[in-house]
Amino acid sequence: MIKSGTFTLFVNVFQSIASIFINIFLIKYFGTELKGDYDFFIANLSLGNIFISLSLPTGIIYISSKYNITQKNFLLFLISLSLVQTLLIHLLYQILLIFNFDFFARLSSTNVRIEILFLSCLVLNLLYQYLKSYFIGIQKFRLTNISDLIRISLYLILIVLFKYFFSKFFNFNSLILIYISSFFIVSILLIKNLRDVNNKIQKPNKFIISELIKFSLPSYFGSLIQFLNYRLDIFIVYFFLGNIALSEYNFTVSIAEGLRLLPGAFAAIILPKVASNSLNNQNLSRIAITSRIILTVSFLIGCIIWIIAFFVLPTFFKNEFKSSIWILGILLPGICLFSINTIIASYFAGIGKPVYNLKIAVLALVFTLLFDILLIPTFGIIGAAIASTISYSISTIAVLLLLKVKYKIKIQDFIFINCKDLKMIKNNLLIIFKQ
């Protein structure tokens, strides 16, 4: 798990650095107003993805891990489903337009029908998630990591090429088309690799489909609510403060969320390994070790990120994003603490208990909504950062208390690192470097 997690972490770090570079590049080229429009488009894309995917990606990981599904027919079913889901979003959007409710009415950056770009992004995003989830489920982590590397690299390279060689055509529309192209290419790559999978089941049976739906539904509501916990502040900031404030806030959030890479890398591996019994799903000791190590490393990385930002951000932006340093300092502790939640949520999903994650997410959303409404109109984007950190902290405390009640664990085992952990880290790192 250490080896796979380390490679996944490397890929996630690369993606984060590339995303920060892209954000800086777009701010410098487009300006904060159009960059805010782009952020709003991507936020709506993420919301549409979460809303319509029904958490099938997580369900696919669980089912393909537990039942070792290796068949093309099942995947073709999911590919067809992504098309149907996109059509449903299109119908929903048309219904909303009848009532004069348009998500994209405030966007001034595009001169084409925005829903065409949106639906194209959505269908390819869904397709890529489903294919990637299948390969994660059968524990082909190297393939999924390479596909992520290719996607973000393509996106970055194409943006730079368009800017310097086709600057006349580089605008909001072409930027979204580049985004679409990157997902299309990596989806083709994954489909091509399906040829290497041996078919053990000729077609999906009703039991597997029902298990997929049974697992995915509570995961879906949990993911939808968790997405709102992550992104509700973006919509409220956009509503109360406008796209310029959103551009600054979202840029700062993108830096702070670099801390999610470490727990996210190991959570992606814990779920399929627990579901397939590669890890003993009754033994929480490994999860506790992973939790406390990642919390400690996240804290150290968080300190490094803030120190670097303190000196680098004024150099790049001078007074343009002067609040970002303090917003970052408020967000990082909450995201750091939330790393515990990320690891434990993956464990709950692996043992088939996504309903626990749903309950925690609902609790966190209540506090997110409450503090966003109270703090953002008064304190602006600093209020949004405070609200997020409060929500993350409450969510983590709740998940630890749930573990204590359900499994009689000691909360400190998930928080405080010890000498044995440090020795284990040293030995595993030596093994990885030798390999």
In this predicted structure, what is the pLDDT of residue 5? 66
* pTM for this model (two decimals): 0.71
Q: How confident is the model at residue 330 (pLDDT cuts 50, 70, 90)?
A: very high
Find out whether 44 and 37 touch, Cβ atoms under 8 Å. no
Rounded to 5, what percent of the chain is helix, strand, coil? 85, 0, 15
- Helices 243-256 and 32-53 meet at what angle, rounded to 10? 60
Q: How many CB atoms lie within 10 A of CB 87?
A: 13
Per the prediction, the chain carries an average pLDDT of 80
As a whole number of Å, the end-to-end CA separation of the chain is 15
- At 138-174, the pLDDT tens digits run 888 888 889 999 999 999 898 888 878 877 777 778 8
Q: How far apart are the C-alpha atoms of 288 and 340, rounded to whole Å?
A: 9
Full residue range of the structural domain in which residue 242 is found: 2-434
- At 393-433, the pLDDT tens digits run 999 999 999 988 888 888 888 998 888 878 777 776 666 56
Q: How confident is the model at residue 105 (pLDDT cuts 50, 70, 90)?
A: low
Q: How far apart are the C-alpha atoms of 173 and 93, rounded to whole Å?
A: 20
Q: Which residues contact 139 (CB under 8 A, 6 or more apart)?
A: 4, 65, 272, 273, 276, 278
**For the ranges 74-78, 230-234, 244-248, 310-314, which has the lowest average pLDDT?**
74-78
What's the number of domains the chain is made of? 1
In this predicted structure, what is the pLDDT of residue 250? 82
Q: Which residues contact 273 (CB under 8 A, 6 or more apart)?
A: 1, 65, 139, 279, 350
In this predicted structure, what is the pLDDT of residue 433? 62
Burial track 351-371 (b if 16+ CB lie within 10 A, e otherwise) = ebebebbbebbebbbebbbeb
